[in-house]
A and B are shown apart, each in its own frame.
Chain A
Amino acid sequence: MKMFSVAHKTVFVVDHCPYMAESSRQQVECDVLTKSRAQGVIPLAPVSKSLWTCAVECSMEYCRILYDVYPKDKLVNYLVSDSEFHILNSWRREDQSTHELMSALAAVGPPNPREDPECCSILHGLVAAVESLCKITELQHEKRTALMDTAERVANRGRIICLTNAKSDTHVRMLEDCIQETILDQNKLAAGSDRLMGIQQCELVLVHIYPQGEDTLVSDRPKKEISPLLTSEVHSVRAGRHLASKLNILVQQHFDLASTTITNIPMKEEQHANTSANYDVELLHHRDAHLEFFKSGDLHMAGTSTRENGFKETVTLKWCTPRTNNIELHYCTGAYRISPTDVNSRPSSCLTNFLLNGRSVLLEQPRKSGSKVISHMLSSHGGEIFLHVLNSNRSTLEDPPSISEGCGGRVTDYRITDFGEFMRENRLTPVAESSHDPLRKLPVERAKAQLERYTRYWPMIISQTTIFNMQAVVPLANLIVKETLTEEDVLTCQKTVYNLVDMERKNDPLPISTVGSRGKGPKRDEQYRIMWNELETLVKTHAGATDRHQRVLDCIVACRSKPPEEEERKKRGRKREDREDRAEKNGSKEPEDKSWQDSERLKGLLEKGEQDAEVIKDSPDSPEPLNKKPRLLVDEVQPPERAKGPVSLLSLWTNRITAANSRKHQEFMGRVSSVNNKFELYQHLKEENGMDTHENGKASR
């Protein structure tokens, strides 16, 4: 259905002339006497509804179903007509509810049988209905404004449902002609107005209501075109249940509805609480929920049955146990709001209450072959019940390659838990439109902005990070990503930094990943340097946000550059600890005065805010000095590059890994005693055979 099909606007025009006060002659017994009380009591005479009551309650039922299935933008304007017209509501969304209409109807009251029938006519209402169709709805206005220069795409169509008691076929024709003329007049008027729209298509549905036991004076007539603007159809119906089922069929036709009967619903009996009987409940919903049946042509196979007087069809689906749980994500191709046909019957209200309490029911398609096919699911969301259509066909996506076989599939140390935490922090929540400041970005844009902030520095695997493996860093890491920081936040961050400094002083171990290396990994000093670098990288990405963010960065920079004396003292202390380690590796000790100079230089550089790679390389605790062990070719290439600028995380990382790896094995004889990284192979061969040998330039590989 198009957005602006005739279904967008429905005008009800209900006859309020004295004749409508007549009885429908359908009697309702409302005094049901139980046997025990029957003696001596005269039962109350049955009551009967007037034509008006019948018309009103059936039109209300039409609206009830309509509003249940389309709570938005399928609008009703309700008019009654006697000696003049009365408009009971407007096209505005807030006026669209049965409660509003009932209240307005109560104010109008039943027709006055003593009013002069000569002054009364349905025509007043019909003319007003055409006028009303020209009035622009909120949705039409919104779309016209949004489309700007293609505003003409917004169509104005509508339907008039007239419930009346017509005198004859000629009378009906007169009414049609009158509507046609009014449309032409109103369209002229609308052409010159901003708030009115000309009618492009109008569908008149005239329902002639007459009391039971009488013969109709008006004949049924299928839809015919009166003019390109107007079509008309006439239904001649007896008041009472005939009228009710007629309007029920009409609402289905007008709004593309279809019927599903849920069968085999187990329900506890009121009297015998421990037994249960099976009930059926009929629901109406958009007919697309049956699309699969229509298309495959097995509508009849799917348990379709024609009910009652052959008026309408319903598809039968079977209640299916066990129930489904709500943490399962079904493949659902459509979800359609429902409305029970018999809303306050006991089986209906049992089913709807069951669903409204948050439970879902799977529905099974009865098939002759006996195979069980679950095709639908009933479930409520926010107090609305939906019929979900589940895919029951073979999936074209079956047997896909597993994610572990694709890119990044072999990596095993993803920070799955941390990212889970990240997702929780970046969950969404509805923001009331009323509380949204139009000057700010839309909530969804703010959500994206938050994701951007939270991911400025986010290593994906555990072995890529130190700080995110440290409890001590958590307070700072959580705060620094915020858009703004409070004084208190800055304080917390600073405390975190001081705490880290303290840890470093105490020489606490750091959770540096030793994945893939069996040795001890980098030395403690090196670990801290890596940690500080990483922390700085994280905070730097946020430093530009506010002054307070910058202060956190300043704090880190200040704290990690230590006075030379302290640095030195610490180093000396550490040297002694490290001696044993070094002895194992036959490493020569660095002259102490050199390291003094180095740390002086280190300090100077750090104060400039620059992290120079050379500093790291040359400082006494860096990976083994070059001359100590002949190293990989790459190492020789790197120093000039490193000297250029701040060390990158990658090279830091590579260094660490190569350093760690180099400790794990005994160096090749050849490499140890190589000259310029070159070593002659098969030397003895030469001696023995006198043949030339090639220098192996790739010995290092």
Chain B
Amino acid sequence: MPTVVLMDVSLSMTRPVSLDGSEEFQRKNLAVHGLNMLFEHMASNYRLEFTALMAFSSLWELLVPFTRDYNALQEALGSLEDYDKTCIEAALNGVNNVVQQEWGSGCPCQVVLVTDGSLGIGKGSLRHSLQTLKHRGEDKKFPLPFPFPTKLYILCIANSEELQMTDAMDNLEHLLCLSGGDGQIFTMEGPLCMKSVQAMFGRLIDHAYSPFHAVLHCGNLSSDVQVFPRPEPVVVDEEVEPMPRAVSTDLEIVGFIEIADISSPPVISRHLVLPIAVNKDVDEVGAAATDELEDEPSASQMAGKSPNFCVLLHGSLKVEGMVALVQLGPEWFGMLYSQADSKKKSNLMMSLFEPGSEPLPWLGKISYLGPVSEAAENPYGEDDSKSPFPVQPPAKRSYAQNVTVWIKASGLQADVQKILRNARKLPDKTQTFYKELNRMRKAALAFGFLELLKGVADLLERECTLLPDSAHPDAAFQLSHAAQQLKLASTGDSQYADFDHNIVPMHTDFSS
């Protein structure tokens, strides 16, 4: 989930923070300190996150486009300049553009807005933007909610008392609400100083940027992993199941399926599964190697050299062209597979299915997938030539069962012509002729279209009179038999108009 850091560089950010007896800081310095801390944290614990840095006042500027280079981000923080007034609406429009250009409209994003709670004055101020919300044309709509799912974190270099003295807090809450409500407003606790700004950014880090660690199990084989990006809790149906479901920290493999069988399933999110060396192991290694401190990377080298289940699993999934079905929680599943980034690099990936007992109709209920060894006969065949998938639904869809639709005249004409075409080829086409005739009959009866039955009966009788001399004598018999049966059905008399009844060919014997 990419992050956009939106930094307020309006004049008000240069307000000094009064501290007794120590060096004087501006609010901007505090903000920069906090962001540096965030970037440092991400560089070491969340380094796959793409982050962009934007500065705004009445205008906005993209200082660093999306990158994983946290040094670049920190450098840019070091050279911020001061501008005029705060204009959040324009800045949010900027975020919208930048994100959509890079990631499209489907990719969830986090926006970290750092401001001092003085939200501008007059036109362009947040207050003004919110007041005019309802009186806008299509082309000047307020940028929130963004088209992409957003988590909006507002970090105020101010404490909540200060914000509540004006309507700043109300406006920020309104803003959060407009963005869809997903996010949080952070304020500083206690005096404005380095310590409290650290505490505030610390809360943001815990809330949004702590890495997701889990244990991947396959029976007794297991591996500690980091799942990146963090899987977000999911609400299935806000009415029936309002509690969000979170991915368990124990990921349990339940079995394996061929890629062709799982067949490009829809997923709600994708994550890298990165094996990690657990701390206690590292500690042990560290303790044993205290006297060779100069060999600093030894811990990671050791980790690289000791066998890890993820690597084994990845290798085999890749070679076999299979995926592992993994349980993420009660009635929630996902799949693990090898994903190649380029020709050389490949990785273990996890995709999450929609929570529920039957996320993929072609697998059936996942709780009813069992081991092949229990099947009476190997469903994959002795030579792997068969597959128990896809699971067939109990009923066929309309396009798979030759339904009759006469809404357009052409549909009706085509069906009648088909009968006539076969009628002219009697007795060779007797079976098809009656099949088509009965299909038409059924539909006409269901639709109460008795007039059609009479009409087709007339047509068949006419065909009978038009038969060439060379025609097989059976043709005439079948045609008049069929015409007569249709006429009887067209009376609507239940004796002849039964839906499940089929007109059968007249029994004739010309062999003798």
Q: Does B397 contact A (CB under 8 A)?
A: yes
User: In the bound complex, what is the Cα–Cα distance between A414 and B380 (angstroms)?
Assistant: 26
| CB neighbours of B256 from chain A (8 A) | 423-424, 426-428
Those of A145-186 within 8 Å (CB) of chain B:
147, 153-155
The contact string, 1 if C-beta is below 8 Å from chain A, for chain B 261-275, is: 011111110111011
Q: Which of A347-399 contact B (CB under 8 A)?
A: 348-349, 352, 356, 377, 379, 381-385, 388-389, 391-399
Report the separation of the CA atoms of residues A341 and B323 in the bound assembly, to the nearest whole angstrom.
36
Interchain CB contact (< 8 A) of B390 among A241, A344, A349, A381 = A381
Shortest C-beta distance, A52 to chain B (Å), equals: 5
Interface size on B, residues (CB 8 A): 149
CB neighbours (8 Å) of B48 from chain A are 397, 400
In angstroms, Cα B61 to Cα A81, docked, is 68
Contact call A419/B312, Cβ cutoff below 8 A: yes
Set of chain B residues within 8 Å of A415, measured between Cβ atoms: 312
Task: Choose one: B306, B370, B404; the contact of A443 (CB below 8 Å).
Answer: B370
Closest Cβ of chain B: how far from A401's Cβ, in Å? 7
State whether A458 touches B221 (Cβ < 8 A). Answer: yes
Which residues of B sit under 8 angstroms from A402, Cβ to Cβ?
Answer: 341, 344-347
User: What is the chain A residue whose CB lies nearest that of B262?
Assistant: A329
Expressed in whole angstroms, the Cα–Cα distance for A460 and B220 within the complex equals: 12
Chain A, residue nearest B318 (CB): A416
Instruction: Give the residues in chain B near A334, CB-CB below 8 Å.
Output: 266
**Residue B379 at the chain A interface, CB threshold 8 Å:** yes
Interface string of A75-94 (1 = CB under 8 A from B): 00000000000000000000
Q: In the complex, are the beta carbons of B372 and A455 less than 8 A apart?
A: no
Taking CB as reference atom, which chain A residue is nearest B273?
Answer: A403
State which of A408, A431, A452 has its C-beta within 8 Å of the C-beta of B303.
A408
| Contacting residues of chain A (3-38) with chain B, CB-CB under 8 angstroms | 3-4, 28-32, 37
Contact B396–A383 (Cβ < 8 Å): yes
Closest chain A residue to B456 by CB distance?
Answer: A30
Q: Which B residues touch A30, using CB under 8 A?
A: 412-413, 416, 452, 455-456, 459
Interface residues in A31-56 by Cβ distance below 8 A to B read: 31-32, 37, 41, 44-45, 47-50, 52-53, 56
Per-residue interface assignment for chain B, residues 351 to 395, with 1 indicating a CB less than 8 Å from any chain A CB and 0 otherwise: 100000000011111111111111100011000100011111101
**B243, chain A: closest CB distance, angstroms:** 10
Contact A53 B499 (CB under 8 A): no
A61 lies within 8 A of chain B by Cβ? yes
Chain B residue numbers with a CB within 8 Å of A333 are 106, 266-268
B411 interface residue per 8 A CB criterion:
yes
**Cβ–Cβ < 8 Å partners of B267 in chain A:** 331-333
A380–B452 CA distance with the chains assembled, in angstroms: 36
C-alpha spacing A444/B371, complex, angstroms: 8
Residues in B239-259 with C-beta less than 8 Å from chain A: 239-240, 242, 252-259
Closest beta carbon of chain B to A591's beta carbon, Å: 39
Do B313 and A419 have beta carbons less than 8 Å apart? yes
| Contact present for B446 and A102 (CB under 8 Å) | yes
Q: Please measure, in the bound complex, the distance between the C-alpha atom of A419 and the C-alpha atom of B338, giving whole angstroms.
A: 15
What is the CA–CA distance of A31 and B1 in the complex, to the nearest angstrom?
63
B197 within 8 A of A: no
A635 interface residue, CB < 8 Å from B?
no
**Residue B311 lies at the interface, judged by CB distance under 8 Å to chain A:** yes
Among A241, A398, A430, A454, point to the contact of B219 (Cβ < 8 A).
A454
Within 8 A of B (CB), among A584-635: none
Decide if A2 touches B239 in the complex (CB within 8 Å): yes
Residues of B within 8 A of A241 (CB): 407-408
The residue from A29, A332, A404 contacting B265, defined by CB atoms under 8 A apart: A332
- Is the CB–CB distance between A3 and B398 below 8 Å? no
Q: How many A-B residue pairs have CB under 8 A?
A: 437
Q: A29-B409, A411-B307, A433-B368 are in contact. Are A49 and B449 (CB under 8 A)?
A: yes
Give Cα A147–Cα B236 distance, bound, in whole angstroms: 14
SS of B interface (majority)? mixed
Which residue, of B322, B325, B417, B455, has the highest number of chain A Cβ atoms within 10 A?
Answer: B455
Q: Is the CB of B346 within 8 A of A103?
A: no
Decide yes or no whether A326 CB sits under 8 A from chain B.
yes
> Contact check: which of A49, A153, A332, A448 meets B264 at CB < 8 Å?
A332
Q: Is B450 an interface residue (CB 8 A)?
A: yes
Contact A44 B455 (CB under 8 A): yes
A429 interface residue, CB < 8 Å from B? Answer: yes
Do residues A424 and B320 form an inter-chain contact, with CB atoms below 8 A? yes
Question: How far apart are the CA atoms of A101 and B369 in the complex, in Å?
Answer: 34
Task: Tell me, rounded to whole Å, the shortest Cβ–Cβ distance linking A55 to chain B.
Answer: 9
A461 to B263 CA separation, bound complex (whole angstroms):
31
Does B399 contact A340, Cβ atoms closer than 8 Å? yes
| Residues on A with beta carbons closer than 8 Å to the beta carbon of B242 | 153
The stretch among A106-114, A203-211, A266-274, A499-507 that forms the contact with chain B is A106-114
Question: Which residues of A line the B interface, CB within 8 A?
Answer: 2-4, 28-32, 37, 41, 44-45, 47-50, 52-53, 56-58, 60-61, 64-65, 67-68, 71, 97-98, 101-103, 105-111, 143, 147, 153-155, 241, 244, 291-292, 295-297, 326-335, 337, 339-340, 342-345, 348-349, 352, 356, 377, 379, 381-385, 388-389, 391-411, 414-417, 419-420, 422-433, 436, 442-444, 446-448, 450-456, 458, 460-461, 464, 482
In the assembled complex, 17 residue pairs joining A and B whose CB atoms fall closer than 8 Å, in A order, are: A3-B240, A28-B413, A41-B466, A97-B395, A101-B446, A331-B270, A333-B268, A343-B398, A382-B393, A389-B266, A391-B106, A400-B48, A417-B316, A417-B319, A426-B372, A451-B218, A455-B218
> Given A109-B494, A396-B1, 6 other A-B contacts at CB below 8 A?
A98-B403, A111-B448, A384-B397, A397-B272, A401-B347, A433-B365
- A-B pairs, 6 with minimum CB distance: A408-B308, A443-B370, A110-B448, A393-B104, A455-B219, A382-B390
